[in-house]
Amino acid sequence: MMRISVLAAVAAAAALAPASEAAAGKRYQASITRTTFGIPHIEARTWQGVGYGVAYAYAQDNLCLLAEEFATVAGERSRHFGPEAKAVLGFQEVDNLASDTFFRAVIDLPALRDGVKGQAREAQLLAEGYVAGYNRFLKDAGAEGVPADCRGKPWVRPITMDDLLRLTEKQMLLASSLALAPGIAGAAPPGEAQAKVAMTLPRQDELGIGSNGWAFGGDATADGRGLVIGNPHFPWNGPSRFWQMHVSGPDGYDAMGVGIAGSPIPTLGFNRDVAWTHTVTAARHFTLYQLTLDPADPTRYLVDGQSVAMEPHSITVPMPEGTPDVTRTLYSTRFGPVVVIPQSGVTWSAANAFAMKDANRGNLRAIETWLRIGQAKNVGDIQSAVSETLGIPWVNTIAADRNGDALHADVTAVPNVSADKIKACSTPISGLFASLATLLDGARAECDWDAAAGTPEPGLMPASDQAATIRRDYLTNSNDSYWISNPRIPHPALSPILGKHAAELTLRTRSNFTETEALLASGKVDHASAKAMAFANKSLAADMAVDPLLALCARQNDAATDTARGCAALAGWDRRYEASSKGAALFRAFWAKAARVPGLWAVPFDPADPVNTPRDIAADTAGDKLLGALGEAVGELDAAGIALDAEWGSVQQWRVGDEGIPIHGGPGTAGVLNYQDARPAPGGGLVPVHGTSYIQIVGFDDAGPVADAVLSYSQSTDPASPHFADQTRAYAAKQWHRLPFDRRAIRAAAIGKTKRIAE
């Protein structure tokens, strides 16, 4: 593990810096060289300098986005934007009052400040530099240099370490507490005014997060070295957008890839010897506890027969000038905050309440984990990093190295609850929640998470009880559980908290295995074949359903019906989601209905053949409903003004002023690997909201990494930037970009002069 003292860092900086700078005693120094598409290559000789340069470059591209995010995590959105307007919390929209209440209640700044003391020293220095770099950009930009979208706004302000701590905590909670933010912000005991909570417990596929990732080992590749395909599915808007960077820092650190808002180093990418990607895991990173309340007081709960008082927290949210501030009292327990989700039956009555315990609260270990991954020499180093720190919050880690080894590690910060404990600590209603959350009995102290020796925090599941595999053929994940990352080696059953075992796979996962096996059957994997698979835009649902549907269509006599019109359109579809595909929009609308038809498949799911089951449309029993679904889909497109045979690229577009950029890729629920989730756009058609974002294909030669990549939504959120949509156009044209990594390649691809900053 990297451990350097402040004195050592300063000494190293002084020894390596130019004499004039060293003599000036500059604490923060970095250089930023931009190459094609505005990708910054940040060089620094200290960890403070790395954070300094990364924050400065990120603010150059996304100042308004990041400044608004700091207002969000500070609980100040209502004051600046009004309490009823919306905030994007991770992957959902929440009203500003609920957002502010959540952050002011859940983020424990004193605990985070104390937790920093246990961080790796490098992580502390990175954070210090990041704050300085962001503030330096604001100073350099001045009032007139701030982008038009946020110029003159009071929420564009210098930040402190507290702001970065809040943002870091928020990113750790993206797939857990943040998903339940309205239910935490709206919890109130019976008899008190209840805030409206319009949400249900989200399923994993409803969180708006996903991804595909492949690690091919030397036995499967043309050159005998490892190769990684990273295809994370992340939002096109908001602070969870990826941003590309290349960081060269002290201790030989040299890594390139992407991070989201506030990341001081790449959290997904590659170095000279390894490449890695992440996919959202099926593991659950929180548990719900059913509380048995004291009959005399609904703000007290019983544990082993003893009455325990909930801890009240008075939360005041500042409102716009002239409007009184809003104060609410929220309650927390030994298991975490009280939460209500009425639509899912999670309520606060005189008899029961529910609390949420989150394994990622206070997780400040993640940056140390990614630092170690960025310095890894092989996949064994990566496995050690994720296992020893348990700092990866909510994603699988998929990696390959130049030696030809491949890794899949579903090892994260997850509650240490075994299958036996889940069974022993169930309540009479636990089964009602089983598909959505793990519900335990809060009336018994023994139902708290188990402490295991050697974990960085008590109550976390040790890596030895989670799933990690190293092989030389391939390993892959498309957000299903650890159970199968290669059909040849199903994993033995682990705790249900880690995901379902021997359960039906999603169509996207099945498409992954089908296409991967077809790729390997055609020969060894190389960059060209990997690119072809990543952007093939095939739909497994179409391959399984269109021919049987057309056979049903042949029985129709009236060619003028909506169903018959739909049949004619699908007969001419190439069954892909290319920009040029005609009929893709119709199948998207049809499959959203058809997939829910009871008894759809004639051959049921078989855990002995999970890739190929369920299958075969049950035409005799489900045929009429399928034809009805097709007719409804036709009516839906007619109402939206979309022609049944419209080219997909004329329907799904990213708008840049008057320009509509056609976006290929389609719905993951239809078994499309190149996943784009689109929603109705103002003025008609569809606009992508999340899906394929940063796509990288990384292998190795004797000199270093060989990386092709594209960022679908481009680097900058500033419409005035030349890098607002340049990669979006490249993505639309399927134009990959060979990333420059060594100094010679960077010099050759440089655009403009290197910027050097110091203070």
Beta bridge partners of 35: 39, 750
Q: Could you tell me if 189 and 258 are in contact, meaning their C-beta atoms sit under 8 angstroms apart?
A: no
Q: Could you give the percent of the chain with pLDDT greater than 70?
A: 94
Look-up: residue for tokens 């001081």?
Answer: 264
Question: Per residue, what are the HEC states of 583-595?
Answer: CHHHHHHHHHHHC
Separation of alpha carbons 412 and 365, rounded Å: 11
Residue 507 pLDDT level (bands cut at 50, 70, 90): very high
Task: Report whether pLDDT(47) > 70.
Answer: yes
Look-up: residue for tokens 């860092």?
Answer: 9
> Two tokens at 237?
């808007």
Residue 91 pLDDT level (bands cut at 50, 70, 90): low
Reading phi first (left if > 0) and then psi (alpha if -120 to 50, else beta), residue 659 is in: beta
Mean pLDDT check: name the lowest of 398-402, 430-434, 721-725.
Answer: 430-434
Sign of the alpha-carbon dihedral angle for 570, 574, 580, 584: positive
CA 369 vs CA 110, 277, 388: distances in Å: 23, 14, 9
Mean pLDDT check: name the lowest of 109-118, 187-196, 415-424, 509-518.
Answer: 187-196
Task: Report whether pLDDT(279) > 70.
Answer: yes
Look-up: residue for tokens 């991804």?
Answer: 211
> Two tokens at 150?
């946020």
Q: List all residues 6 or more positions away from 324 whose beta carbon is below 8 Å from its beta carbon.
A: none
Average pLDDT of the chain to the nearest whole number:
94
| pLDDT of the residue at 88 | 82
| pLDDT of the residue at 203 | 53
Q: Could you tell me if 159 and 135 are in contact, meaning their C-beta atoms sit under 8 angstroms apart?
A: yes
Strands 227-235, 694-700: pairing is: antiparallel
Mean pLDDT check: name the lowest of 560-569, 591-600, 643-652.
Answer: 560-569
Residue 8 pLDDT level (bands cut at 50, 70, 90): very low
Residue range 218-234: mean pLDDT, rounded: 97
| pLDDT of the residue at 560 | 73
For residue 703, count CB atoms less than 10 angstroms from its CB and return exposed for 0-12, middle for 13-18, buried for 19 or more.
exposed
Residue 320 pLDDT level (bands cut at 50, 70, 90): very high
pTM score of the predicted model: 0.94
Domains and CATH numbers, the chain: 6-189 (1.10.439.10), 208-283+366-418+455-534 (3.60.20.10), 286-358+426-447 (2.30.120.10), 540-672 (1.10.1400.10)
Taking residue 316's Cβ as centre, other Cβ atoms within 10 Å add up to 13
Our answer to whether residue 211 is catalytic in this structure is yes
> Two tokens at 658?
């008057």
> Two tokens at 66?
């990041």
Question: For the segment 618-627, what is each residue's pLDDT rounded down to a tens digit?
Answer: 999 999 999 9
Task: Report whether pLDDT(200) > 90.
Answer: no
Task: Report whether pLDDT(130) > 70.
Answer: yes
- Within 146-245, residue ranges assigned H as helices are 161-172, 181-185
Q: List all residues 6 or more positions away from 304 whose beta carbon is below 8 Å from its beta carbon.
A: 443, 444, 445
Beta bridge partners of 75: none
List 211, 240, 248, 539, catalytic entry = 211
Task: Report whether pLDDT(584) > 90.
Answer: yes
Q: Could you tell me if 693 and 233 are in contact, meaning their C-beta atoms sit under 8 angstroms apart?
A: yes
Residue range 89-105: mean pLDDT, rounded: 90
